[in-house]
Amino acid sequence: MSARILDGRAVASRLWRDLSDRVADLRERSGAAPRLAIVRFDDRGPSAVYAGSVARAARSVGVEPHEVTPPSGVSLTDLAGRIGALNRDPSVAGIVIAQPLPAHLDPSTVVALIDPAKDVDGATPLNAGRIARGERTFVPATALAVMAILRNYEVQIAGRRAVVVGRSAVVGRPVAALLVAADATVVICHRRTRNLAREVRRAEILVVAAGSPGLVRAEMVNRSAVVIDCGINTTPDGIVGDVDFGSVRPVVAAITPVPGGVGPVTTMMLLEQTVDAAERQAAEFEPALDRYALPAASESIRPPAAR
């Protein structure tokens, strides 16, 4: 039997409706649309493409995109001034920095300039630390998209063995932390993992974020596995994931396609956290993390019981 397809576009369109309603409510109460500042450094390259697609999605739910375009030679001091102004601007709910940055700017230093309360893509070191500690905060949108897909398809997470392939700060590490917070038992794999196939085969939930087309093949997976493929790789055959979809689909329980899986949900997660930020600024905050990553029964993030 072929795997169930975990359809990211369907999940994204449900999220789109909810978000549009929440934005309409916010607009009615405050008289203004929440604004998402998108800092980008080029006019035509990948940073502009990303900024353009986020801006279009933002407009579609009623969030107002505010593109900020520092000159590509901008100094760190100048940039700190610009991001500081966005941090102080009460009309700006969230700030995202479109990668890649010009070579002379260190990405970690630049994202650290964002006020963590407006860090709607969970990029700042403070929010990364909170995620690692299992605390509620904004999280990287791709990691949250993985959890949103699992939740939307009611995949049981607690007690299950999850394997994450990839340990980047934007995908692998935060996904692993969210799965631990949802009470999975998590193994993180990377290039130095001794026997990737053996680790992957033990996964009941498999999340792959390696940037390596076709890395996971049919003979590596477990028949009961739910497979979430975060990979986006441009090949002569078009965009493909890190999982060899054609061979893996027939032998697992469920799988996300690429394209049409994690990608569309990621954009919605960025917008959902922007709306969260706007609601928090209006004192009505309920983090998206609560809705997707933390089951009501989870004990893992509760404060320790009084002795």
Judged by beta carbon, residue 39 or residue 164, the one nearer ligand NDP is 164
* CB of residue 307 to ligand NDP, shortest distance in Å: 40
By CB under 6 A, name the one of 126, 196, 253, 301 that touches ligand NDP: 196
**What is the contact mask toward ligand NDP in residues 218 to 247, using x (rule: CB under 6 A)?**
------------xxxx--------------
| Helix, strand or coil, per DSSP, at residue 181 | helix
**What is the contact mask toward ligand NDP in residues 132 to 171, using x (rule: CB under 6 A)?**
----------x----------------------xxxx-xx
Instruction: Name every residue whose Cβ is closer than 8 Å to that of residue 226 and which is 6 or more positions away in sequence.
Output: 6, 150, 153, 155, 204, 205, 206, 252, 253, 254, 255
Judged by beta carbon, residue 207 or residue 278, the one nearer ligand NDP is 207
By CB under 6 A, name the one of 65, 94, 116, 172 that touches ligand NDP: 172
* CB of residue 264 to ligand NDP, shortest distance in Å: 9
Question: How many residues bind ligand NDP, per CB under 6 A?
Answer: 26
Other residues' Cβ atoms within 10 Å of the Cβ of residue 194: 7
CB 189 within 8 A of CB 288: no
Judged by beta carbon, residue 215 or residue 289, the one nearer ligand NDP is 215
Helix (H) or strand (E) holding 174: helix 172-181
Stretch that binds ligand NDP, among 68-76, 81-89, 177-185, 192-200 (CB under 6 A): 192-200
- Token code pair at residue 48: 């502009």
Helix (H) or strand (E) holding 228: strand 226-229
**Binding of ligand NDP at residue 211 (CB under 6 A)?**
yes
By CB under 6 A, name the one of 9, 59, 104, 190 that touches ligand NDP: 190
Instruction: Name every residue whose Cβ is closer than 8 Å to that of residue 145 and which is 6 or more positions away in sequence.
Output: 8, 262, 265, 266, 268, 269
**What is the contact mask toward ligand NDP in residues 261 to 300, using x (rule: CB under 6 A)?**
-xx--x----------------------------------
Other residues' Cβ atoms within 10 Å of the Cβ of residue 15: 22
CB 53 within 8 A of CB 271: no
Rounded Cα distance, 290 and 124, in Å: 20
Rounded Cα distance, 20 and 55, in Å: 15
The alpha carbons of the chain give a radius of gyration, in whole angstroms, of 19
* CB of residue 71 to ligand NDP, shortest distance in Å: 26
Chain positions contacting ligand NDP, by CB under 6 A: 142, 165-168, 170-172, 189-193, 196, 209-212, 215, 230-233, 262-263, 266
